[in-house]
Structures are given as structure tokens and as C-alpha cells.
Chain A
Amino acid sequence: MAENSKYYVPASSPWPIMGAIGLGLIAFGAGHTVLDVTKNTDGYGSNILTAGILVILVMLFGWFRDQINESMSGKFNQQLGRSYRQGMSWFIFSEVMFFAAFFGALFYARNVAVPWLAGASNNAMTHSVLWPEFVAQWPLVETPGGTTTEAMGWYGLPAINTVLLLLSSVTCHMAHIALENNRRGRLKLFLGATILLGGGFLFLQGSEYIHAYQELGLTLQSGVYGNTFFLLTGFHGMHVTLGTLMLIIMFLRIMKGHFTPQSHFAFQATSWYWHFVDVVWVCLFVFVYVL
């Protein structure tokens, strides 16, 4: 492990604590925003939330500027690059577990809660005493409480979206290969394509939500089917948004001539993130829409 013989330890930095202040403001502001919105009071919640987001943006800008400068002036070594890559993989793993919580809720609701409400397992009395009318079904188009909705089919928009996202994973990978072979033209082309595909996905997802609300009566309030549908696709959508922003930043940096075939951690991390988002979608498509 020859490259281990020297380490890089950055000097003290103001950015992390700024990040902490930003997150603190976001948490405090988000909490109060939720209260303001649901109680119809006007408070400072959203202002604090906005301030927090601004602080985070400034922080990210400053932090990444330092980071990029360090990287451009060759201060990094392989060992640090490995640390970053591993850090990113573990971060993605934590995201996987976050989605796992919601998938868990989906499987539990579908395979346990709903059948039990209809009398399965040791819940015969639950059904006959409390919910005699209730029939188990999935998608749960009529809840035990009587709320009705329509199910979202997998054909149409969701299927198109799957194609878009899978395609974008391919283009993203092509861009990566182009970068490694130092073919900057191809790199820009494929990266641009990835961004467009991501944007297209988001647009269609938006229209799908409108369709769900306006035509199907499928809303966040329509029982556990709608809940899992919107939370899973919603958090996924947020991740796509974040991923697209990251891709855009990569695009800008590439325009400025950043990255070399050997050293492009930021690009690699973004591309991993994008593939991760794509894999989550495939699971979503299978478990939320098709099955």
C-alpha cells in the first residue's frame, strides 16, 4: 500500500458548522412550517426554512469550491479517492435503507394489515365485529373506513417513465465511459441526454400526479394504497430531482474543463447516485404499479 505513506488532512474549515446551522434552521423551520400550514396560522416557519436552505446552498457552494480547488491543484491521492468512493457507497446504502422502510410499509400493509382487517390469520373477530363489510384487495380501492379511489395502472405513463429512466441509466454509463476514454464531445452529448431524460421523467411524473388527483381520485388521503403510492413515488421523485441537479452541476463543470480520465470522483458519485435512483424505480415499478 505504497500510496498510504502520506495522508491528506484538510485544514480547519468554516463550512461544516455552517452546514450544521443550515440543517438546524431547516429542521426548526420545517417543523414550524408544517404547523403553520396545517393550523392555518401565519408564523415564521417558512422564512426560517428558506433561510436554512439558503445557508445550505452557500455552504455547499463554498465547500465544493474548496474541494474542487484542492482537487484541481492535485492535493488528492488515490487513498483519499477511495475514501470518497466508499463514503458515497455507504451513503447510498443508507438511502436504500430509507426506501426499505417505505417498501416495508407497503409489504406489511398489503400482505398483513389489509388481509387481517378482512379476517385473515388470527383476526377473524376483527373482521366480523369491526369491519364486517370490508373485503381485502390490492390495490385497496375501498378502505375499511369507506374511502374509495381508483388504482393507477402500470401501462401508459409509468411504463414510459420506466423506459426513460432505464435509458438514462444507459446514457449516464456511456457518458462515464466517454469520460474515461477522454472523449469530451461524447461525454457532453450523453450527459446532456441523461439530463433531458431525467427532466422528461420528472415532467411525466408530475402529469401522472395530476391525473391521479383529478381523474382517479387517488390522493395522499385515500388510504394506505394512496399513502404508499405517493410516499414511495414522491421520495423517489425528490431523489430524481436531486440527481438531475447533480447531473446539471457535473455538466457545468465539464463545460469548464473539469475532470480527467483518472480523477473524477464527483462525476462517478453522481453517476452511482443516478443508477441507484434508477434501481429504486425498477423496484417501485414492479411492486407499486405492476404487482
Chain B
Amino acid sequence: MSTTVDTLHHEEHHDHKPSGITRWLFTTNHKDIGTLYLWFSFLMFLIGGSMAMVIRAELFQPGLQLVEPHFFNQMTTVHGLVMIFGAVMPAFTGLANWLVPMMIGAPDMALPRMNNWSFWILPFAFIILLSSLFMEGGGPAMGWTFYAPLSTTYSNDSTALFVFSVHIMGISSIMGAINVIVTIMNLRAPGMTYMKMPMFVWTWFITAFLLIAVMPVLAGAVTMVLTDKYFGTSFFDASGGGDPVMFQHIFWFFGHPEVYIMILPSFGIISAIIPTFTRKKLFGYSSMVYATASIAILSFLVWAHHMFTTGMPVVAELFFMYCTMLIAVPTGVKIFNWVATMWRGAMSFETPMLFALAFVILFTIGGFSGLMLAITPVDFQYHDTYFVVAHFHYVLVTGAIFSVMAAVYYWLPKWTGHMYDETLAKFHFWASVISVNVLFFPMHFVGLAGMPRRIPDYSVQFADINQIVSIGGFAFGLSQLIFLWVVIKCARGGEKAAAKPWEGAEGLEWTIPSPAPYHTFEKPPKIEG
């Protein structure tokens, strides 16, 4: 068939991009859409981060200084929602858009128009969510987990908007995930067999399955919240034969796979970067693939580890404890494989590598605290304290967010055609890695000492540590402005990047010029071997 790129785009030759605002509004180009996703995600990171700054400022000292408890709860809730659904997930989808087609030798995503649709839903979803903060009575204040009946009978009117905003976010993620799966299944260049795909493609492939499986469940959960609150159903109300804990089961059936949705693509990124800068092939490629798949499968069997204190029968507690502990095995395989990749390599330490190394260490620390949380009798002590907050910020901030930053530095030359400013970037790395530990490490201590999460005020014994944490928080926040600066600077100019700026890099994306032409692989490349 000859109905190809050339005939349809005959007025927009290879590097002649459509111009003006409509380029971005109407685009079907995976690179444009990837860029949109990434900038959107960064904007959300700033917004969610600003809310975290409000939280840290209020917690700087005991007592209520800046905000009222109701507003504090809104900040906590929306911070969590914005960071998860606005910052991390879109960042990964943006990376998938940019990279998956280039890595498998495809000209674009399989369903380019739907791709554009998936992206543009997001701004509307978040406008609705964020604008609800300005409603009479304020925005959602029931935690990002919106447990019933706090989110039903006892919530404010923003709940209706929250519910529908989550619905369309879900539609966006599902369409994005379908696109990734179909692209990978259908558009691989000849010779690109499944077991030759780069790890990033593999991890996203599996992530996309998780997304399609659990986002609809979240949609179901918010729907039941809506009918319980407004239409008199009693799914989560014992007097009607329901159960508030049922909400938690449904939510966490989504919620736990969701946290792996936020880490599996990171594993892919790290598996690309470490071999490049050790100049050695990734150790144990196939066991990496199997480990990723095992994590995904296990993720459906562990959800109730968030609910150990809800009073489940002891058999259920044991089952979920064992399954949760098991996840440490495949995750360990990944960590060990990375270390083995480094072993007897020839390492160099450019910024992407620094972030990747920090990821391996700090994510592992987050994983250790996760494992501690999995031990049910001890979780009774940890649950809903800052120990949990420390755990998930280690896996999310120094895990997911660090991996995104590593990815941005790593592929920025390919995207912009320029090298970023290495000195500034290193400065960003060191500022971030030091401040992030000042920010999150002491949270373990206050958590163990007994400070509950989601409180705007605390008893005086926790004062010193909270002060340190807040200072780390402000420093980490400010450090991200350096990141913004490096990226803008790189987009606007700088040293020209070669097609393959990293000596040890492998993969199809490095066979095309930098910056990557608007259309790549119109004719599929040959994969040899």
C-alpha cells in the first residue's frame, strides 16, 4: 500500500514541522505529543511541589501558623493526586511517546489521533480538579485515597467534580496505555522480536497492561462514591448492608498496581542508562523481563497490605503479608542485575548515570522500608505514620522522579540536538540528592517515634526533626529550579549533539540524527542478529 507518510504529508517534508499553535493542538506526531506530556508533567510537578511547600511550611513548627486544618487537608490530598496522576504518570507516558516508536523502529504510535486525544484530556481534568479548590467549602480534603465515608457522607461539594475529573483522567490513561500496547505489538520493525526489545519498551508494555486492568476499577470506585454521596446507595454504609472497608478493597485493588505503574517504567530507564555508562551489556536481560512480569502479576495479590489495621481475619492478613514479601524477590533480581552490570565495567559518571546510581541506592532503601511495612504485626506500629510517608517518597521521589530526571538528561541531546550544560546538571544532581535525603530520611525517625501522617500540627517532641525535614524540603524544591533552567537552556541552544552522544549507548534511537527528525523510520530499519 502506498498511502504513506509521504502522500499525506507532502507539504510537510521531513523536518518541516507545521508551525504555530495548531501544531500543538492538532498534532498527531508522537514526538510533539511526547513533548506536551513532559512539559505538562513538569508543570504539575511544580504545582504539586508548591502544595508540598505549604505542607512543609505549616509543619515547620508545632502549632497552627499559616493554614487551617481544613486547608491543610486539601493541600495533602491534592498534592498526592497531582503528583501521582499529574506528574509521574504523564511523565512516563511522555517518555513512552518519545521513545517507544524510536526504540522499536516505528514511524509513530499506532493510533496517532487517539494519542493526541489522550493528552489533551489531561489539562481539562486537572483544571477541574484544581479549580475545585476555589469552590465554596474547598476542594477534596479526604486524602488521595478518599476513604469512605469521609469521602461520601462527610465530604464537601467538590466531591462531584473530583469524581468526574478522575473519570476523565482514567479515560486518558487507558487510551494512552492501549496505544502503547498496540504500538508494541504491531509496529515493531522486522526482526525486532519480543526478546530483543529494549527493557524500557518491555517495562512499558507490562505497565500498559496494568493500566488497562486497574484504571477502570478506580472508575468503578469513584462511581460508587458518587452514588453513595448523592444518590442514596449504601455500598460503603453498614446500615444498608455495605461496608466502608469494601471501599478500601476496591481502591487498593487499583492502588497497589498503580504504585508499580509508577516504578516499572523507571526500571526500564535505569536498565538503559546503566549499561551505557558502564559500557557493558545489561546483565541478565531475560531474567529482567521475567522479574518485571512477576512483579506485575504479584501486584494484583497484595493490595490489602495497605489495610492491615482494618480488622481483616488473620488468614487474610497472613496471605497478604506473604505475597507482599514475595515481591522483594523479583525486585531484588533487578537490583542485583544492575550491580552485576556495573561489576567490571568501565564506568563514567555523567549526570544521567549519577541519577541512575542514586536511584538504585535510594530506591532500594525505599524498598527496604516497604518490606518492613509488609510485616503485618510491625505495620500495626508503622501504619499511617511518617514512616509510611518516608517509604513512599523514597520510592516515588528518589525512585520515579529521579528516574524521569535521569531519562531527561539521557535523551535530551536526542530531543533537542544540543548537549545540556554538564556542570549545571551536576550541580542540580548534588543539590537534589543531598537535600532530598535531608527531606525524607528523618521522616523515618519521626514516624517510628509516633508522628501520624495527615496532621497539620504535632506534639513538641517532633519539633526538631520536622524543622530539618522542612529545610530539606525547601532546598529540594529550589534545586528543581536549576533543572528547569538546564532544560530550557538546552532546548534553546548549546553544543551540537552527535547522533550518538554517549559512547556506550545502544539502541535504534541512537542511529538517527540529533535532534530526531520530525518523522523517523518511515521505512522500517533492519534489525540484524
Is there a contact between chains A and B in the complex with CB atoms less than 8 Å apart?
A: yes
Q: Which residues of A contact B (CB under 8 A)?
A: 1, 3-17, 19-21, 23-24, 26-28, 30-32, 34-35, 37-39, 63, 70, 73-77, 79-80, 82-84, 86-87, 90-91, 93-95, 97-98, 100-102, 104-105, 108-109, 112-114, 116-117, 121-122, 130-131, 140, 143-145, 147, 220-221, 223-228, 231
Instruction: Name the one of B27, B187, B216, B232 contacting A7, with C-beta atoms under 8 angstroms.
Output: B187
Interfacial residues of chain B within 301-317, with CB under 8 A of chain A in the complex: 311, 313-314
Known interface pairs A7-B107, A13-B28. Does A113 touch B242 (Cβ–Cβ under 8 Å)? Answer: yes
Beta-carbon contact of B232 and A221 below 8 Å = yes
Q: Which residues of B contact A97 (CB under 8 A)?
A: 212-217
- What is the distance, in angstroms, from B338's C-beta to the closest C-beta of chain A? 31
Provide the bound-state CA to CA distance between A177 and B349, in Å.
62
Which chain A residue lies CB-closest to B2?
A: A6
Beta-carbon contact of B212 and A86 below 8 Å = no
Is B88 part of the binding interface, using a Cβ–Cβ cutoff of 8 Å?
A: no
Interfacial residues of chain B within 126-185, with CB under 8 A of chain A in the complex: 127-128, 157, 160-161, 163-165, 167-168, 171, 174, 177-179, 181-183, 185
Beta-carbon contact of A105 and B190 below 8 Å = no
Is B478 part of the binding interface, using a Cβ–Cβ cutoff of 8 Å?
A: no
Q: Which residues of B contact A35 (CB under 8 A)?
A: 157, 160
Binding site of B, secondary structure by majority: helix, strand, loop or mixed?
helix
Which chain A residue lies CB-closest to B219?
A: A98
User: Chain B, interface size: which category?
Assistant: 35 or more
Beta-carbon contact of B161 and A7 below 8 Å = no
Beta-carbon contact of A31 and B250 below 8 Å = no
- What is the distance, in angstroms, from A152's C-beta to the closest C-beta of chain B? 16
Chain B 9-29: CB-based contact to A (< 8 A → 1; otherwise 0): 100100000100011011111
Q: Which residues of B contact A112 (CB under 8 A)?
A: 243, 246
Beta-carbon contact of B28 and A9 below 8 Å = yes
Known interface pairs A77-B1, A86-B182, A94-B212. Does A113 touch B243 (Cβ–Cβ under 8 Å)? Answer: yes
Provide the bound-state CA to CA distance between A92 and B184, in Å.
19
Known interface pairs A17-B117, A94-B212. Does A77 touch B3 (Cβ–Cβ under 8 Å)? Answer: yes
> 7 pairs across A/B with beta carbons < 8 Å?
A7-B107, A9-B5, A24-B168, A77-B1, A87-B178, A109-B241, A114-B241
Beta-carbon contact of A93 and B239 below 8 Å = no
Known interface pairs A15-B113, A104-B253. Does A117 touch B241 (Cβ–Cβ under 8 Å)? Answer: yes
- What is the distance, in angstroms, from B313's C-beta to the closest C-beta of chain A? 5
- 8 new A-B contacts, CB < 8 A, other than A38-B230, A221-B231, are A10-B113, A101-B217, A101-B224, A109-B242, A113-B241, A121-B313, A143-B239, A227-B242
Interfacial residues of chain B within 110-126, with CB under 8 A of chain A in the complex: 110-117, 119-121, 123-125
Provide the bound-state CA to CA distance between A4 and B107, in Å.
11
- What is the distance, in angstroms, from B109's C-beta to the closest C-beta of chain A? 9
Known interface pairs A7-B108, A74-B3, A108-B243. Does A227 touch B233 (Cβ–Cβ under 8 Å)? Answer: yes
Is B238 part of the binding interface, using a Cβ–Cβ cutoff of 8 Å?
A: yes
Beta-carbon contact of A23 and B239 below 8 Å = no
Is B464 part of the binding interface, using a Cβ–Cβ cutoff of 8 Å?
A: no
Instruction: Name the one of A8, A63, A226 contacting B4, with C-beta atoms under 8 angstroms.
Output: A8
Provide the bound-state CA to CA distance between A217 and B490, in Å.
68
Provide the bound-state CA to CA distance between A31 and B27, in Å.
29
Q: Which residues of B contact A24 (CB under 8 A)?
A: 121, 124-125, 127-128, 168
Is B186 part of the binding interface, using a Cβ–Cβ cutoff of 8 Å?
A: yes
Q: Which residues of B contact A (CB under 8 A)?
A: 1-5, 8-9, 12, 18, 22-23, 25-29, 106-108, 110-117, 119-121, 123-125, 127-128, 157, 160-161, 163-165, 167-168, 171, 174, 177-179, 181-183, 185-187, 189-190, 212-217, 219-221, 223-224, 226-227, 230-235, 238-243, 246, 249-250, 253, 311, 313-314, 519, 522-524
Beta-carbon contact of B116 and A16 below 8 Å = yes
Instruction: Name the one of B18, B168, B219 contacting A27, with C-beta atoms under 8 angstroms.
Output: B168
- What is the distance, in angstroms, from A6's C-beta to the closest C-beta of chain B? 5
Beta-carbon contact of A21 and B241 below 8 Å = no
- What is the distance, in angstroms, from B22's C-beta to the closest C-beta of chain A? 7
Beta-carbon contact of B168 and A94 below 8 Å = no
- What is the distance, in angstroms, from B208's C-beta to the closest C-beta of chain A? 9
- What is the distance, in angstroms, from B483's C-beta to the closest C-beta of chain A? 28
Provide the bound-state CA to CA distance between A27 and B182, in Å.
28
Provide the bound-state CA to CA distance between A190 and B120, in Å.
39
Binding site of A, secondary structure by majority: helix, strand, loop or mixed?
helix
Beta-carbon contact of A9 and B8 below 8 Å = yes
Instruction: Name the one of A7, A14, A98, A105 contacting B235, with C-beta atoms under 8 angstroms.
Output: A105
Beta-carbon contact of A87 and B110 below 8 Å = yes
Known interface pairs A7-B107, A224-B235, A227-B227. Does A28 touch B246 (Cβ–Cβ under 8 Å)? Answer: no
Beta-carbon contact of B9 and A5 below 8 Å = no
Q: Which residues of A contact B119 (CB under 8 A)?
A: 20
Q: Which residues of B contact A224 (CB under 8 A)?
A: 233-235, 240-242
Beta-carbon contact of A102 and B220 below 8 Å = yes
Q: Which residues of A contact B9 (CB under 8 A)?
A: 9, 11
Provide the bound-state CA to CA distance between A145 and B240, in Å.
6
Beta-carbon contact of B125 and A223 below 8 Å = no
Known interface pairs A7-B107, A101-B221, A117-B241. Does A13 touch B246 (Cβ–Cβ under 8 Å)? Answer: no
Provide the bound-state CA to CA distance between A19 and B113, in Å.
11
Provide the bound-state CA to CA distance between A44 and B461, in Å.
51
Beta-carbon contact of B3 and A94 below 8 Å = no
Most buried by B among A9, A97, A131: A9
Beta-carbon contact of B242 and A220 below 8 Å = no
- What is the distance, in angstroms, from B194's C-beta to the closest C-beta of chain A? 14
Beta-carbon contact of B524 and A5 below 8 Å = yes
Provide the bound-state CA to CA distance between A19 and B226, in Å.
24
Provide the bound-state CA to CA distance between A32 and B1, in Å.
49
Known interface pairs A104-B250, A108-B249. Does A223 touch B241 (Cβ–Cβ under 8 Å)? Answer: yes
Beta-carbon contact of A20 and B219 below 8 Å = no
Most buried by B among A6, A16, A23: A16
Q: A-B pairs with the 10 shortest C-beta distances? A: A101-B220, A24-B124, A145-B239, A20-B120, A16-B117, A75-B3, A98-B216, A27-B164, A113-B243, A224-B241
Provide the bound-state CA to CA distance between A100 and B221, in Å.
11
Provide the bound-state CA to CA distance between A17 and B185, in Å.
26
Provide the bound-state CA to CA distance between A226 and B234, in Å.
9
Which chain B residue lies CB-closest to A144?
A: B239
Provide the bound-state CA to CA distance between A226 and B128, in Å.
31
Which chain A residue lies CB-closest to B208?
A: A90
Provide the bound-state CA to CA distance between A14 and B110, in Å.
18
Q: Which residues of A contact B311 (CB under 8 A)?
A: 122
Known interface pairs A20-B120, A86-B185, A90-B178. Does A12 touch B219 (Cβ–Cβ under 8 Å)? Answer: no
Instruction: Name the one of B108, B219, B250 contacting A9, with C-beta atoms under 8 angstroms.
Output: B108
Provide the bound-state CA to CA distance between A220 and B223, in Å.
14
Instruction: Name the one of B127, B186, B232 contacting A83, with C-beta atoms under 8 angstroms.
Output: B186
Provide the bound-state CA to CA distance between A91 and B208, in Å.
12
Known interface pairs A31-B163, A86-B186. Does A231 touch B5 (Cβ–Cβ under 8 Å)? Answer: no
